[in-house]
Amino acid sequence: MVSKVLLMLLILAICSTFVICNAGGSKKKFHNKHKEGWKNGHDYDSYEPKYDGDGLKDNFYHKSCPRAEKIVQSVTERHVSSNPNLPAKLIRVLFHDCFVRGCDASVLLNSTGNIQSEKDANANRNLAGFDVIDSIKAEVEKVCQETVSCADILALATRDAVSLQYGRPLWKVPTGRRDGTISLASETSTNIPSGASNFTVLSNIFANKSLSVHDLVALSGAHTIGVGHCNFFSRRLFNFTGKGDQDSSLDPNYADFLRTQCKNSTDRITTVAMDPGSSVSFDNHYFEILKDRKGLFVSDAALLTDDDARRFALKLLNPKKFFDEFAKSMEKMGAIGVLTGSQGQIRKHCSLVN
């Protein structure tokens, strides 16, 4: 009898873990999980380091700074609780970091003397969240000096910020990245795609980073959170081909709505949610609006102009498929051009080379 009761309890425990861990389920099921912290996730301290390709390992700081990942998580959680827009800011910073010189925190460096760093390039003008990375780094440094890289802190904090609403990490972040010492504004324009890019430009830039068309589509799903400034898409509303027309690939009713938001074609101040009504919730709703021709940028609409990309975008209307593919692509993106071993350095301050 006692053993039957124990068996029942065990089955119940397994079932409840499965339901909570199924991030592909409907988003309602997981809302407000952040109040419970990482209850349903991994206990990082219990990880034995395991090599993943590219010289990164699961829990690289296991011995050198066992509390590192927990500190990153708790400071990130604190910041996201007071600023729900932070996940969007951080994931965009990570994308812009990884696409220029790899994920080496080069985007975090300040300009020095007459050398303009990536941070001050046009493409990075609206990036935000640097102060949060600096504050996480300061907390980590209090416990482990010059041990945990800014590149790893950015990768972990991004994952933790985006995942918070689900109470469990949405993708794996193997660690061991080191920080770069070079950051040049001039390298951004060729590596960071603009919102006006067509499919050929997008797929070429991604291929240069060893990312496939499927990675391009899945990662564009990050546009389910955050905002865009009017000047990045207003040509689609006011003067698409130079004849005062609008972009025919944009839903006309949505274009009417957007014109009520943006004052004119050069409005650099006003922002519009990229996934209206759901812009602080990380989910696959971007693919719904994309299908309905309401993607905000030319680069979003471009995903429907290629057969393979369009078919894949439609597959990501399935939430489980989206979460799986997004996780895979984020892991690939987080490993682009990483510095490991004795390469680069571990910065003391994320905005300055040692």
Q: Which is nearer to ligand HEM, 102 or 193 (CB)?
A: 193
Q: Which is nearer to ligand HEM, 321 or 348 (CB)?
A: 321
52 is in an annotated binding site: no
| 89 scored as a contact of ligand HEM (CB under 6 A) | yes
Q: State which of residues 68, 72, 219, 262 lies at the interface with ligand HEM (CB under 6 A).
A: 219
Q: State which of residues 193, 295, 334, 344 lies at the interface with ligand HEM (CB under 6 A).
A: 193
Sequence-ordered list of residues with C-beta below 8 angstroms from that of 35, at least 6 positions apart, any chain = none
What is the residue type of 339?
L
176: left (phi over 0), alpha (psi -120 to 50) or beta: left
| 328 scored as a contact of ligand HEM (CB under 6 A) | no
Report how far apart the first and last C-alpha atoms of the chain are (Å, whole number): 66
| 165 scored as a contact of ligand HEM (CB under 6 A) | no
What is the residue type of 220?
S
97 is in an annotated binding site: yes
| 240 scored as a contact of ligand HEM (CB under 6 A) | no
Joined together, the tokens standing for residue 219 give: 């990662």
Selected catalytic residue, list 96, 214, 285, 349: 96
| 130 scored as a contact of ligand HEM (CB under 6 A) | no
Q: What is the per-residue burial (b if ≥16 Cβ within 10 Å, else e) of 314-331?
A: eebeebebbbbbbbebbb
Piece in contact with ligand HEM (CB under 6 A), picked from 216-224, 247-255, 310-318, 339-347: 216-224
Is 96 known to be catalytic? yes
DSSP string covering 262-279: -SSTT--S-EEESSTT-T
Joined together, the tokens standing for residue 324 give: 């799986």
As a whole number of angstroms, the distance between CA 221 and CA 115 comes to 34
Q: State which of residues 106, 188, 299, 351 lies at the interface with ligand HEM (CB under 6 A).
A: 299
Q: Which is nearer to ligand HEM, 27 or 229 (CB)?
A: 229
| 281 scored as a contact of ligand HEM (CB under 6 A) | no
- Residue closest to ligand HEM, measured at CB: 226
As a whole number of angstroms, the distance between CA 309 and CA 319 comes to 17
| 102 scored as a contact of ligand HEM (CB under 6 A) | no
Joined together, the tokens standing for residue 95 give: 């994308």
Sequence-ordered list of residues with C-beta below 8 angstroms from that of 231, at least 6 positions apart, any chain = 265, 266, 267, 268
Tell me the closest approach of the beta carbon of residue 298 to ligand HEM, in angstroms.
8
Radius of gyration of the chain (CA): 21
Give the annotated binding-site residues for Ca(2+): 97, 100, 102, 104, 106, 118, 224, 275, 283
Q: Which residues are catalytic?
A: 96
Give the annotated binding-site residues: 97, 100, 102, 104, 106, 118, 193, 223-224, 275, 283
